[in-house]
Amino acid sequence: MLKEFRPALLSFLVLSAVTGVAYPLLVTGFAQFFPVQARGDPSLIGQPFSDPKYFWSRPNQGPTNPALKDAVADRVKALREADPANTRPVPADLVTASGSGLDPHISPEAADYQLARVAKARGLAEDKVRALVAAQTEGRSFGLLGEPRVNVLRLNRALDAAK
């Protein structure tokens, strides 16, 4: 019996040391290279905006939320009512949530869709708002992963600071 117990105990101790001590220390050490993300940054989490003077982010509902279907219809209606002159198709990322429902980014197309409404509500020239959108547009991660995206919270903060 001791013959079987000894390897099991040794495995338990080694795995406990690796997963309970070594791995957390390694991850904590690695996180120090990314201090903003490691300590938390509100601009990494989607925030709800509904005032016409702000760019609106994605809805904060996960794809498994049963209310998402109704929310999509309500969101399309709200976007249409906020800017009745805009007859272009509503970009999908303005009415559907990301996988987590917490993504703070929208596509450049979604930002462009809202640009005239925001410029009009703020009394700003569209070119000035377009320049702020361009300044807050992030490229692909590492130059090849994902798609270009606009961080809505940072863009809205830049708009507030520009006034």
Q: For residue 5, what are the CA distances in angstroms to 13, 16, 52, 87?
A: 12, 16, 67, 72
- Residue 54: count other Cβ atoms within 10 Å of its Cβ: 21
Give the number of other CB atoms < 10 A from CB of residue 82: 16
3-state secondary structure 114-163: HHHHHHHHHCCCHHHHHHHHHHCEECCECCCECCCEEEHHHHHHHHHHHC
pLDDT tens-digit map of 97-152: 766 667 788 999 999 999 999 999 999 999 999 999 999 999 998 888 889 999 99
Helix runs in 18-125, H state only = 23-31, 35-39, 68-82, 108-122
The pLDDT assigned to 42 comes to 67
Strand 137-138, strand 105-106: pairing: unpaired
pLDDT at residue 101, as a whole number: 61
CA distance 68 to 57: 15
Residue 152, amino acid: V
Tell me the pLDDT tens digit for each residue of 12-65: 999 999 999 999 999 999 888 888 777 776 666 777 888 999 998 887 766 677
> b/e per residue, 99-117, with b = 16+ CB within 10 A?
eebebbbbbbebbebbbeb
Name which residue leads in pLDDT, 2 or 119. 119
